[in-house]
Amino acid sequence: MLKLLNLLKDGRFHSGQALGEALGVSRSAVWKQLQHLETELNLTIHKVRGRGYQLAAPLALLESQAIASYCEGEQWPLYIHDAIDSTNAEALRCVAQGYPAPFLVLAERQSAGRGRRGRQWVSPFAENLYYSLVLRVEGGMRQLEGLSLVVGLAVMRALQSFGVKGAGLKWPNDLLVGDQKLAGILLELVGDPADVCHVVLGIGINVNMQVNDQVDQQWTSMRREVGVAIDRNQLVARLNLQLQHELARHRRYGFAAFQEEWEQAHLWQGRKVSLIAGSSQTDGLVLGVDGQGGLRLEVEGVEKSFSGGELSLRLRDDS
Contact 272, 319 (CB under 8 A): yes
Whole-angstrom distance, CA of residue 95 vs CA of residue 73? 24
Known binding positions: 86-88, 110, 114-116, 181
Whole-angstrom distance, CA of residue 226 vs CA of residue 266? 21
Is 316 known to be catalytic?
no
**CA-angle at 58, arms to 50 and 76, nearest 5°:** 145
Is 271 known to be catalytic?
no
The secondary structure of the chain in percent helix, strand, coil, rounded to multiples of 5, reads 35, 30, 35
Known binding positions for biotin: 86-88, 110, 114-116, 181
Indicate the helix (H) or strand (E) that contains 294. none
Phi/psi class of residue 194: alpha, beta or left (left: φ > 0; alpha: ψ in -120 to 50)? alpha
Residue 55's DSSP bridge partners are: 45
Is 304 known to be catalytic?
no
- The one catalytic residue among 3, 12, 136, 314: 314
C-alpha distance from residue 187 to each of 80, 204, 263 (Å): 20, 11, 20
- The one catalytic residue among 116, 157, 232, 238: 116
- The one catalytic residue among 109, 157, 170, 181: 181
Closest CA to 24 of 11, 12, 33: 33
Residue ranges in the chain assigned as alpha helix (H): 2-8, 16-23, 27-41, 64-70, 87-96, 147-160, 222-226, 232-253, 259-265
Active site residues: 116, 181, 314
